[in-house]
Each structure stands twice: as C-alpha cells, then as structure tokens.
Structure 1
C-alpha cells in the first residue's frame, strides 16, 4: 500500500525490555466487559499442549531448526513434509475457546510457523495486494483520488479481493462470516434509536455502523441489490426520515454526546462511498445532506465553542473517535459538498487529531485510559489514518507525530491474558463495531508483521475494514522470539505482565499495575498494586470493571472527595490490593516501581519447555499511595513459573490493613488447621491453593462480601452499586505495626506436585536470583 510508514526507530518493539476442556468463567458475566462483539465466528475443537519441563534449560526441540544440518535427501523430504503440513494447517488456530481466544495446535516443530515476516510478492501464493497507482507527489487533505470508493478500500482492493479470497484461508473465512452477518440483518427491522443516559445513543450508532459495513461489503462483493436496499432502509431510518422517530429532529444524532455524532457520520460516510455507484442521485444527495447537517455541521460548531466540543483538548478515545468520524465524513463527500463544510472540517480536525488523539498512546505504548478503551481509541485512529491514506495519499503525520504510537500493538498483546484482558478500570459501552483490527493496519504501516499475525486468529477479526487492512503476504508465528514478560514504565501507567506461554491458554498469566491514580480521564480506579491471575484456563483473581455509568457523579473524580470514589468498583476496597484503615488510596500518589525478568522467549513452535530458573518480578513502593504508611508490594514467578509469590512488607503501620483479592472461585479452608493459613480456590473444576507463609501476628485467611465497608461515606443521592454476583473477596486482616505478608499461589497443575516454599526476602531486596 502507498503511504506505508517506517517504524520510528530500528528497534523491534518485541525486543524492548525494562489442555483440558475449558468452561465459561463467571468473570465473563461480571468481571469483563459486557461488550458484545457482533461478530459470528466458528468455534472449532482444539487441544493445546502444555509442557512445563522441570529439567529443560532451553527451548529447542528435537526437530530440525533448518535444513542446513541435513543431507540433501533429508532436507528435501523435510521441506516437502513442512509444506504439506502448512497447507493442511490453513489457519494457524484450530478454533477458539470459551473466552474467544485462539487455540493453537500442539507442535514442537519450529519450522511449521516460523519467524514473523512479510513475504515479498511472488507470482505464486502467498499473494499480496496489488500496488496502488494513486501516489500524489504533493498530497493535500482536500484533494482526493478520482473514482469511488476512496475510503479504506479503494476499487483496486475490491477488484483484487476475489482472487485473494480464493488463495487465503483467513480472507475466505472472514468473507463468509461477513456475508453471514449481512444476511442475518436482511429480515430484521432497522435499529431503533435508544438513549442510554451518559452513554448517549452510542450503542445504537455503533450497531448501525456494523450493519452498514457488512451490508455494503456484501453488496459490493455480490452485486446483489438486496443488500444495498436493506442498507438504504437502515440509513433512511437513522437519518430521521423513516416511519418511526429517530432522536430529536434536527439533532437526530445526539450532539450532546458527540461520540454518537461521530459514529453515525462515519457509518453514513462508508455507506455513501462504498455503495456510491448503486445509489441514485437523489439518494446520494439525501445521504450527503444527512452527513453535513447532522454530522459535519455539528463538528464545526464543536470547534467553534459549542459546549459538546470539550473533547477537542483531551488525549484519548473521545478525541480519536470524534475526529475520525468528522474526517471520514468529510472525505466521503468532498467535491460533492456545496457548502464547503467538509473542507472546513478537515482543516480543523486534522491538526487537532495530531495534537490530541495521537497522545492517547503513552511513550511505552500503554493506552492512557484503560485496556478496554484502547479498542475505541485505536479503531477511531486507524479508520481515520487509513481513510486519509486511501483518499488523499497521506496520513499527514497521524502515524508519526507520536514517535511511540507504534508500540500500541505491543501493549495490546501483553495486556491480553490467558482468559481475558488485564481489564483494570472502566470497560466502556458495548464495543459492537469496535475491534482490534487496527492491529493489522498498524502491522503494515509500522512494518510489524507480528501485530497482523496476532490479530488474524482473533474472534473479532471477521470485519470488513480489518479484511482490507490484512496483508495476506504475512507469514510466521507472531509469538516467535517474543519475550514472555514485559514492563511498561511510563510514569502514568507503570505495569507489567508475566506468563508461561503465548500459545497455551491453560498456562499462567500474572499482571500488576501501579502508576498514578489520576490522569486517566475518569476511567481509572484507586488501584495501585492491583493484580490479576490466570491459571489452568481460569481467572482466579479478577477485575469487577465498570459500575453504573449513569450513577450520580460517576465521572466526577477530580479530587479525593469526588463522588466517583464512593462507588465500590472504583474504591480501593473494590480492587485486588491493600486497604489501609478502610480508606481509599491517595489520588495524587505516584509509586516508584521496579521490574526484572529472565527474558525467557518462546520459539516458533507452540510448545514451550520453560527453564527451571526462568522468572520475573514487579515491585512497587506504595508508601505515598497510602499517605506515608510504608508498604512495599511485589509479585514474582517461582519454580520455573509454576508458582506465584505475592508479598507485602509493611513497616510501623499506625492502622490496621486489609489484604483483598476478588475471585469467582469457591473458597474453602482446611479443616485440619485452626489458623486458616491455607485457602483452596475451586473454579470450573480447577484448583488453586493460596498459602500464607511465615505466619506471624495471628494472620489468617477469611472471606468477605464484595460490598462497601459499613463505615464508608454514603453514596450520592440516587446512586447505587451494581451487585457483584458470584464474587467472593479473599481477605487477610493485618494488625497495625510491622508485618511481611507472603502469599504463595500454587495452581494444581496436572501431573505436578513439586511445589516449593520460597525464601523470605524483603521486597526491596528482590532480584532475579534472590529466591533461588
């Protein structure tokens, strides 16, 4: 594609460092986003292999690494066998599990997947997109290519797609899914307008955007007018010209919640552009005026001081999505617009997006809001940049103005656990049209093929824009040579994740965060020291996510006494961390952190033998987080990554402290112990044993309900907390004074019982070898 950007540096972000049947966990219902992806994906069977080989010191297998050490006859035989195996494999993932994550075949053959790369175009498969002939020497945002479509998928891509679909199993599968989704809409009524409090009509806008993409795609690929006519019915209704009312006349797209305007505008723009040749002139005119009057004119007003234009100065999803809708809408009707609004909008939105949307990514790649809001912001950014590239021939520095934006894909990979995201903070409204397919766009633009390879096996990949962002010349296993651990050191974020494998979802995943408790656009929690833990295909320590977005004062978190911090899921007691004297953490705190890793990487095979000395740890000095109470918290992997140690060193605390962990597991205590120093957590047939070590001062486990303390200040008038059904809080009550609270988590791995009792080492003295 034209406009491909080189990465901002020569550093591969992957080098940056500082199965049994699975069941649906209750975290799916209560702990992860209630964010329905309107994507129909085939769920196939697949068994993953797990190897935690205690004696192994490397990742090599007995299979040949290359043909260089073989005789010519052996080399030829191996090459033929490998080619046959790859052809038979088709898609790398054999299916998806109950969490929607890909399952990979168990193989120790490093040649089957190989190093991530873009294979140069050849006369035989793998095929690639043809070269775009539209290459203006002096691109201008108001000078667009001739002909339609011009947004994301110009005609040369549509023309090449049938041939590519016949050659590529991923494109073929996505095409079938999109047609299935489009066909499913044919016999349902147009989406009705629905206003959901502080979330506006966003669900309505995004679901209509999904329908637009699928129906427009199906029409262009089949030339069957039934898809275009059903699309027109949807557009007629959403413009306020149908048989039922749709919002407020003249402001049908709800400008007071500008995300709604942006998403409706983008949907209408894609419908206008992708189906341009089918629409009659009166229909084109009607669509254009809807885009102008209900969309772009509202955007111009936002830039000219309207109260709903506050998003112009924020770095995050609001800026990305809002500017994206305005830019896509303007590009769609440019040269047709008799008012000049489209040109005016482009001149306003483009520099603003560079200055604000692009800063939604921190300098380590972390999204400034939360792991779930990454989807919203990056989808908007990618659709905006892609449309500019295809329509005008340049992204106008949207991909380069933040030199570290290219690391955002790395963040998404490491924040994805064995069951779900490290889903701290708010998760946002339903995703609908928002997917992670920006990974495929960024994979090409930043020359990071492992981004593309990572996303193409995900359940949300079957979506039209992602299909056009996918480069079918990509090859290899995205996990090849990828470190298992990563530390994100940006001052605002500061977090780390550690795991046992990239391809075995039944392994171990631990993530912990610190960073600042403010500066996340009121989507954060008071949660320094918060962690999640996945093992054996279950999330044993999980997040509660968003509370009620419509609750009074929910998005008012500007100071310590703001109402946001009264709601349980936002308070410190609603997190997997410590609570001092039943009080929230300090809002303005910034805890220093430390991280180290043995830098274990996975090879190209899907089975990883972990060296016994492989480890990683993350620590945080939470003293200023708790107003001067000296607390050092650390989490580390032990015993070849089979066990997890969580330790809190507390010095001279003036008040009682409570250790808290939220779980969907059934918690049981040993009937033979009077001190409850061991808790057995059972979840979906899997067992995790938590043990208190070096018990002093009468420390023991107990349980509590996931509700506010009875001593908490009252909720705002009319405010309520959502129920946390199926959740138990595992608790350790710690008296005032000095204590070292050491909890070791022992997943009950099949065929393994060689658990160790780690040394007692102060968190401040942890090192890679401190617990050998």
Structure 2
C-alpha cells in the first residue's frame, strides 16, 4: 500500500511540475525493450568486431575487463559521507556498475552479472543518496539505471523490484521536491549532471511509470538548454577544462541516451556552440599533455570519452588528436579511473588511430562568458611553444581571480603555470566560506584563488573586481604573429582608467606579453607576476634565466627601462591553504605616475630562440589585424 501511495504521489508531483512543460515526447509511451539506454540489444556486435580487428580498441576493452576482474572480490561500496558529499561513493558506484554491466553485455559471463547485481542491491539499500547535495543523487541514479537496464533479464525478480524502487524513491522522487531541485534553473554543470541522471532513471523504469517518466524527460530537455547557452557563441566552456570533462560529458550522456531511445535528442546537440566545444577542449591541452588549468581545474589531461561522440557527430576524426595520444601512451591505471570509460567503446564508431590526424589550425579563439585564445607552434612537435590566455570574470561559476592570466610552455616544460583548484573538502572542513563570491568574501583570501598568485596584474595590491568582465577585443591567427588582446579595464575599475593585455606567439619562436596602462589622478603601483615551477636565476635588473628539466627560458623585461626583477615565495599564508612545493613567483613592481600612460613588455624566450627575439615590440594598436 505504501508503495502504491508513493507512486501516486510521484505522479501527482510530476503532473504539477509538468504544467509549464512542452510535451516533446508526445503520444509515444513505449520504448525499445531492455536494454534501451545507450546500447540496444544486439548492438554489442559492431563493438566486438572493432575489438577483434583493431589492437587499440582491443587494448581498451581488455583494460575494462581486467578492472572488472579486479572488482569481483571487492566488497560493495558503503554509504560513507565525507562532509556534505556522498559524491565519491556515487562516482565509484557509477564506475563499477558501468564497467561490470559492459563486461556482462560483451561476454555474458555470469560472474560479472552477479557482481554487478550485488553492487546494485547494496546501493539500493542505502538510506538515501544524499539529496541535499544532488550531484550525488544524479550520478547514483545514472549508475543504478544503467545496471537495471543493461542487466534486466539477468537479474532476479526480487532484485529488479528493489532496484526499481530505489530509482523511484531515492533518485526521481527527491528531484520533484523544490527543496532539492534548484539545479533545474541554474546554468552550470549541476544542471547537466542531475538532468542526465534523472533521465537515465526515467528511461530505466519507463514501462512501469510512463507518465512520470515522460514528465522527467520533458523536464530535462527543457532545463538542460540553460547551461547549454553557456557554450555560445563558439564553444568555450566557462568553467574550464576539468568541469568541461564533467558537465559536457554528462550532457553528451543525456543526448546520446535520448537519441538511442527515441531516435532523436530533441534538438540538444543542435544548441548553438555545443558541437564547436570539442575544438575548445582539444586546444586546451598543450604539447606536454597538460591542460590550461584555469579556474577550478586539474592540470593533467586525460582521455575524454565525450570527444569520440563529438568526432562522430561532426565527422571529424582530427578532433581526436589529443585522445590518440592518450590511447597510445596512457597506462591502464589512468584509464580505469574514468567512470565513463565504457562509453568510449560505444561512441568510437570503430575509428582507427591512422584517421586521427593532427588539426590544421594552430590557434583557436572562443568568446562568451570566459573568452580564451589558445595558440601553438605545432601540433606534432612535443617541444613546440604553447600559449593560452583567458579573459572573463571572477564571478563566473568556479572561477578564480585569474582574468588576463596565461600559461606558456616550450621544450616540453610548462614555464608559466597555474595552480588550478584546491580540494574543496580541505577548505570546507576548516570552515572556509568557499562558495561566497562577494568582493570581500573569504573565498578570495584562499591563496590559489586570488590574483596575487596568477599570471596577471595586481594593481595597488587590490583584488580584481568580482562582477566585472574582460573581453577579448582583438586577435589574429596569422602564423608569424598569433595573438590575442584582452581588455582588463573593468576588472581593475577605479585603480586605472585603462588596462589592456596582449599576448603573442611570434614566428612560432617566442612569446610577448605586453600590458598598456593609463592611470587616474593618483600614483599607481602595478605588479606583474608569473608563477613557475622552474629554478629562477636573476641575471640583471631586467632579465632572468629559468631552468627546468635541463631546459632554459629567458624572461626579459623590455619596458619600462627601469625595472628590478624579483621573486616571491609561494608558501601558503593561511593554515587552510594547500602547500605549493617546487614553485615560485617571478616578476616586478613599477610605480606609475598619476594621469600617465605606460607599457609593460615582457618576452619569454626559449634558449634556442634567443637570437630571434631582437625586434622592437609594437604598441597593441599596431599589432596586425
């Protein structure tokens, strides 16, 4: 009786929520039989043929099965919450169930089925999936839905009943409660992840609750376009590299599942800028394999399953150039950390390594909420120069005070670096008010988050303005002088009347960073900073030699004429700050008179290009358009 009452309540809640919905599914109330999520019955065969014919895909397939073998004797995960999050357990649940379900579909070996069933029942027995932090519910619902759907006819009837009940009560039901579903109206990765998870739950139980399931799916299609507007106009993802890997991957999981079940993704992939975002992600990785890790991002690049979906959609295997490197060189231990890895096998389309050719364009520029310019001397030379610069705003989701910041690498060394994120729990557990973005909030006292440690300017020792924005105002992709100019003025409002930064890759040989400033009716102190993992040797007042891994880079200040280079420590100033071993800041400070104009011009010159960097640097207005 209680279950019947619960289901009636769910349907009523769904109907109330559906009043403002567009019924995109229409009168269709039936779907393909199980399995219906991502991979229909019989669609294992093309994957098996690819695995048999291609050593690369055989390797990845074998890695997944080997990890499943290792899981056979592991105990199921337990409901252990860390701080406000159960997310680590949800992610591990998704990883285990997706892997084991894939292994069962591909081999029909009973041990994979039973081990997955054991995991599903353990998770279904949790008291809840932590709806107060709904990402946890989103990922757990996706995990259980995939297992329920893919293993449906191998599961005991009692298991199906328990798992289905968990999807309803611990996944879908909380998503109908306004106390937990504010993610429906936000524009960041939460919307993408949670809507994908709820849709998977709805698809899994569609035949039992068709009206409820339709409502959940219609709601997701309406809601997910909100974060998808963030990709406009060119595909630059405002939350950066790591959160692209999160939000975009789950967005693709949503689109792919809808298309497989209904024969259409209801226009999701056609949202402006979305298909172009694959080029953004590809260009965000330097020749070293490290990412441009601005905002809350990690540094190390990794295989991105979603890129295979994009390459298929765009019929452009050159989008997989970076993925090719991962397929060739990553160790098994790195692959199996990715909970969505089996999706790579589903979306690869059997693409061969030989067809994954290098992109032709050496520069990619994206506008939008966080504009970026990404340029390189070569796609095929691991020693090539790579230069990335960003504009945007500290007020954007997961952003730092890194407006105008850049990264630079040459000879396989990341010379100008970014710390990226600090683990959230390490700050939250110490009482740091991390998610308050107000100008004077504690967030901006975290060492890795403010502008004092990023490769940008600090003016009058003040923080960048949180709710202002810096656009990219000019750029050129001409190989002899690739550049981008960012107008930083608003982010230093009241400290200067104008601040403009140009970064250029000159003749594919060296980098120029030029800042042009105009001061108000007061003397202004400007600090130019570059964070580096290199050893720094000051050669004179305006020149430094950076050394790392047997390579050298010259940092030379061309103007102003009177400048004294110095270094600053990266030791954490607060007890809650993460340690930063092996790093240092190098730069200089200048006093700019009131109501005057000045330029700061810095060259970053790899050792082999020292003789090529003799030309005078022109004012930004004369940089070739």
Output the CA distance in 2 between the equivalents of 1:408 and 1:229. 39
Q: State the Cα deviation string for residues 689-738 of structure 1 (Å, max 9, x = none).
A: 111224523x12111112578xxxxx8xxx82222222211121112325
Match of 1:489 in 2: 367
Alignment of 1:42-441 (within 5 A): 143-198=29-84, 200-240=85-125, 246=126, 249=127, 251=128, 253-301=129-177, 305-306=178-179, 308-337=180-209, 341-353=212-224, 355-400=225-270, 402-419=271-288, 420-427=290-297, 436-441=304-309
Alignment of 1:292-691 (within 5 A): 292-301=168-177, 305-306=178-179, 308-337=180-209, 341-353=212-224, 355-400=225-270, 402-419=271-288, 420-427=290-297, 436-452=304-320, 454-458=322-326, 459=330, 463-472=341-350, 477-480=355-358, 482-490=360-368, 492-518=369-395, 520-521=396-397, 523-549=398-424, 550=428, 551-557=431-437, 559-600=438-479, 614-628=480-494, 629=496, 630-638=498-506, 640-652=507-519, 654-670=523-539, 673=540, 675=541, 677-691=542-556
Deviation at 1:359, TM superposition (A): 2.0
Match of 2:16 in 1: none
Match of 1:729 in 2: 585
Deviation at 1:454, TM superposition (A): 4.8
Q: For the structure 1 residues 571 and 480, does the alpha-carbon distance in structure 2 shift closer, same or farther, using more than 3 Å as the test?
A: closer
- SS of the equivalent of 2:309 reads helix
Q: State the Cα deviation string for residues 329-367 of structure 1 (Å, max 9, x = none).
A: 110111134x954333223323222x3242242311011
Q: For the structure 1 residues 756 and 254, does the alpha-carbon distance in structure 2 shift closer, same or farther, using more than 3 Å as the test?
A: same
The answer to whether residue 619 in structure 2 is matched with residue 741 in structure 1 is no
Q: State the Cα deviation string for residues 649-669 of structure 1 (Å, max 9, x = none).
A: 233462211111111111112
Q: State the Cα deviation string for residues 419-442 of structure 1 (Å, max 9, x = none).
A: 3111111128999xx962111112
Once the two structures are overlaid, the 10-residue window that deviates more, 318-327 or 284-293, is: 284-293
Q: Does structure 2 conserve the Cα–Cα contact (< 8 Å) formed by 1:327 and 1:350?
A: no
Match of 1:105 in 2: none
Output the CA distance in 1 between the equivalents of 2:309 and 2:568. 46
Give 1:755's match in structure 2, choosing from 598, 606, 612.
612
**Number of residue pairs aligned between Structure 1 and Structure 2:** 579
Q: For the structure 1 residues 142 and 183, does the alpha-carbon distance in structure 2 shift closer, same or farther, using more than 3 Å as the test?
A: farther
Deviation at 1:393, TM superposition (A): 1.6
- SS of the equivalent of 2:513 reads strand
Output the CA distance in 1 between the equivalents of 2:412 and 2:27. 48
Q: State the Cα deviation string for residues 464-515 of structure 1 (Å, max 9, x = none).
A: 111111112568654555210122122x222201101112222110011112
Structure 2: runs of 5+ lacking an equivalent: 1-23
- SS of the equivalent of 2:524 reads coil
Deviation at 1:160, TM superposition (A): 2.8
Output the CA distance in 1 between the equivalents of 2:256 and 2:131. 25
Q: State the Cα deviation string for residues 175-224 of structure 1 (Å, max 9, x = none).
A: 111112211212222223332335x1112111221111111111222221
Q: For the structure 1 residues 457 and 637, does the alpha-carbon distance in structure 2 shift closer, same or farther, using more than 3 Å as the test?
A: closer
Once the two structures are overlaid, the 10-residue window that deviates more, 443-452 or 492-501, is: 443-452
1 or 2 for the larger relative contact order (CA 8 Å, sep ≥6)? 1
Output the CA distance in 2 between the equivalents of 1:618 and 1:237. 53
Output the CA distance in 2 between the equivalents of 1:486 and 1:397. 26
Q: For the structure 1 residues 583 and 616, does the alpha-carbon distance in structure 2 shift closer, same or farther, using more than 3 Å as the test?
A: same
| Structure (1 or 2) with the greater helix fraction | 2
Q: For the structure 1 residues 548 and 163, does the alpha-carbon distance in structure 2 shift closer, same or farther, using more than 3 Å as the test?
A: closer
Q: For the structure 1 residues 181 and 694, does the alpha-carbon distance in structure 2 shift closer, same or farther, using more than 3 Å as the test?
A: same
Output the CA distance in 2 between the equivalents of 1:748 and 1:344. 62
Q: What TM-score does the superposition give when structure 1 sets the normalisation length? A: 0.71
Q: Does structure 2 conserve the Cα–Cα contact (< 8 Å) formed by 1:494 and 1:593?
A: yes
Q: Does structure 2 conserve the Cα–Cα contact (< 8 Å) formed by 1:367 and 1:374?
A: yes
Deviation at 1:282, TM superposition (A): 1.2
The answer to whether residue 565 in structure 2 is matched with residue 704 in structure 1 is no
Q: What TM-score does the superposition give when structure 2 sets the normalisation length? A: 0.87
Q: For the structure 1 residues 139 and 407, does the alpha-carbon distance in structure 2 shift closer, same or farther, using more than 3 Å as the test?
A: same
Q: For the structure 1 residues 387 and 481, does the alpha-carbon distance in structure 2 shift closer, same or farther, using more than 3 Å as the test?
A: closer
Q: For the structure 1 residues 429 and 414, does the alpha-carbon distance in structure 2 shift closer, same or farther, using more than 3 Å as the test?
A: closer
Q: Does structure 2 conserve the Cα–Cα contact (< 8 Å) formed by 1:527 and 1:575?
A: yes
Output the CA distance in 2 between the equivalents of 1:415 and 1:452. 13
Q: State the Cα deviation string for residues 405-456 of structure 1 (Å, max 9, x = none).
A: 111101101112223111111128999xx96211111222343333356535
Q: Does structure 2 conserve the Cα–Cα contact (< 8 Å) formed by 1:437 and 1:461?
A: no
Output the CA distance in 2 between the equivalents of 1:333 and 1:554. 38
Q: For the structure 1 residues 567 and 731, does the alpha-carbon distance in structure 2 shift closer, same or farther, using more than 3 Å as the test?
A: same
Structure 1: runs of 5+ lacking an equivalent: 1-137, 241-245, 601-613, 710-714
Output the CA distance in 2 between the equivalents of 1:481 and 1:539. 22
Q: For the structure 1 residues 170 and 394, does the alpha-carbon distance in structure 2 shift closer, same or farther, using more than 3 Å as the test?
A: same
- SS of the equivalent of 1:569 reads coil
